Amino acid sequence: MSGFGRMWVSVALMLVGLMWGAARAESGEAIAQIVIEGNQRIEAETIRSYLLVQEGHSFDPERIDRSLKSLFSTGLFADVTLHRQGDHLVVSVVENPIINRIAFEGNMRVKDDVLSQEIQLRPRVVYTRTKVQNDVQRLIDLYRRRGRFAATVEPKIIQKEQNRVDLVFEINEGQPTYVQRINFIGNRRYSDSALREVLTTQEERWYRFLSSTDTYDPDRLTYDRELLRRFYLQHGHVDFQIVSAVAELTPDRSGFFITFTIEEGERYRYGDITVDAKVSALRERDLSEFVASREGEWYNANEVEKTVQKLTDAAGAMGHAFVDVRTQLKRDREKQRVDIVYDIQEGPRVFIERIDISGNVRTLDAVIRREFRVVEGDAFNTAKLRRSKQRIENLNFFEKVDIHTVPSETAPDRTVVKVAVEEKSTGDLSFGVGWSTTAGAMMEIGLRERNLLGRGQDLRTSLMVGQRRVQIDASFTEPYFLDRDLAAGFDVFAIQRNLQRESSYDSSSLGGA
């Protein structure tokens, strides 16, 4: 090879060497070994599985940074560092402790088992600050639902051996946060006192010490908005609106002022009422007999709902289970009349696969299911589902009732009805004192349970003790006797009278019905 050729070969080798050196400098040297430090319970191989770099890879800062984030995202570690020592990548970890025990202190009004069900952390679960703060908020929300907005929760940890901790929630329940005042703005036709009678939330009074309706509950306030809307729609106020419902907490956090801002609108009467059946077999039938309202009467949303239900049932009785009855309202604001068209159309063929009920800790499923106007396997019917929800709410066993549907996972023409309820107290205790010309001074105590043993049965007992009279009463009602929509029950009483002053004898009577 000539000297000129050897020179070009040397230059080429130099360029290749420079390019290889630049590439090596850019990518960094290869990782010879990954060293795991600080792990106690978690295996080193488990930690390596979360890394995005392995032995033999280059020291890539971006992938090392992503590996750091990957380890933190597991929630297993309180601290993680990755650093280079020569050709070794050292991963130092500080494991989050394991919860050994969870305890509650300071809770007098709410039992430990209720609080335990509310939180998500459990013994033998990895402790993280985020999970603890989330559980603190859940406990605060629980107390707020029970009307205690002054409650505070402070988490404390007690270090134990083997990287374990005891988690203690220190609770200051505070005083109940009562509703001190309920105000209405915009009501002209009905007084504040009349509208307060519609609501389930009540103002604080000394004689309501056995009731919780005078404590503030956001869910109850939402239900009160619906009750207020129903009330006005039942009395002809088609344009009624609730502009706002604001609950203001006093500066000392001792009470709430609730203000409803409403627009009543004008009161309407019925105008023309027609039934438009787009199902061919129903066009030939006279369906007007199922309309509950008449022209000229005051508009009532309950009557409209009853008509929708009657038309749906009538169509089903005629062999058309899949119908959709919708109402179309046309307002005449000058004459203050509203025309109604009941539009009957063929609905989608969807069946109810099953009805799932949740949230009923004490009330039996059967008590809720018997209020449904549909059962599993029936054709899906929106009107009947609305009526079922209303019947469950009318039981007055639950603070909240939510019914919604989700598509079935087994068939496209099936749907699953989800029912979520939140139970409330159904017991009543009453006291009374008085005076009678026949019995003298007397005192009475009464006890009632409207949902006995979660079966929906009603049990009442009362005892009246007077100077010249003692009376005991007891009654029991089974609302669904023999699983039929038939109420049955009994009443018994025992009366002892002292008639020595009037007739020189005593009287005893025992009876029932």
Tokens read off for 369: 């299911």
Does this model's pTM top 0.95? no
Mean pLDDT of 217-240: 92
Render 297-364 in DSSP notation, one character per residue: SBP-HHHHHHHHHHHHHHHHHTT--SEEEEEEEEEETTTTEEEEEEEEEEPP--EEEEEEEES-SSS-
Write down the mean pLDDT value for the chain.
Answer: 84
Determine the Cα–Cα distance for residues 347 and 265; give it in Å rounded to an integer.
Answer: 34
- pLDDT band of residue 33 (cuts 50, 70, 90) is confident
| Residue 53 one-letter amino acid | V
Determine the Cα–Cα distance for residues 513 and 503; give it in Å rounded to an integer.
Answer: 29
> Can you say whether residue 482 is alpha, beta or left, with left for phi > 0 and alpha for psi between -120 and 50 degrees?
left
Would you say 418 and 360 are in contact if contact means Cβ atoms under 8 Å apart? no
Determine the Cα–Cα distance for residues 193 and 90; give it in Å rounded to an integer.
Answer: 73
The edge-to-edge listing of strands for the beta sheet with 269-277 is 269-277, 337-346, 323-332
Q: What is the pLDDT, as a whole number, of residue 288? A: 77
Query: Does the pLDDT value for residue 187 go beyond 90?
Result: yes
Tokens read off for 93: 């970890």
Query: Which of 4-18, 181-195, 427-441, 485-499 holds the top average pLDDT?
Result: 181-195
- For tokens 């992503």, the residue is 66
Mean pLDDT of 196-202: 92
Mean pLDDT of 335-348: 87
Mean pLDDT of 144-159: 87
Would you say 261 and 276 are in contact if contact means Cβ atoms under 8 Å apart? no
Q: What is the pLDDT, as a whole number, of residue 5? A: 53
> Can you say whether residue 240 is alpha, beta or left, with left for phi > 0 and alpha for psi between -120 and 50 degrees?
beta
Which helix (H) or strand (E) element contains residue 13?
A: helix 3-27
The CA-atom distances, in angstroms, between 298 and each of 274, 332, 339 are 17, 14, 12
φ, ψ dihedrals at 487, nearest 5° = -85, 140
Would you say 142 and 171 are in contact if contact means Cβ atoms under 8 Å apart? no
Portion of the chain with pLDDT greater than 90, in percent:
28
Q: Which residue has the higher pLDDT, 383 or 262?
A: 262
Q: What is the pLDDT, as a whole number, of residue 386? A: 83
| Residue 301 one-letter amino acid | A
Residues 6+ apart with CB under 8 A from 246: 258, 259, 261
Q: What is the pLDDT, as a whole number, of residue 297? A: 92
- Nearest CA to 262 out of 357, 180, 211, 198 is that of 198
Query: Does the pLDDT value for residue 90 go beyond 50?
Result: yes
pLDDT tens digit sequence for 354-366: 999 988 888 898 8
Q: What is the pLDDT, as a whole number, of residue 284? A: 54
Determine the Cα–Cα distance for residues 148 and 127; give it in Å rounded to an integer.
Answer: 28
The CA-atom distances, in angstroms, between 356 and each of 32, 348, 363, 441, 508 are 57, 22, 14, 54, 53
pLDDT tens digit sequence for 311-321: 887 777 665 66
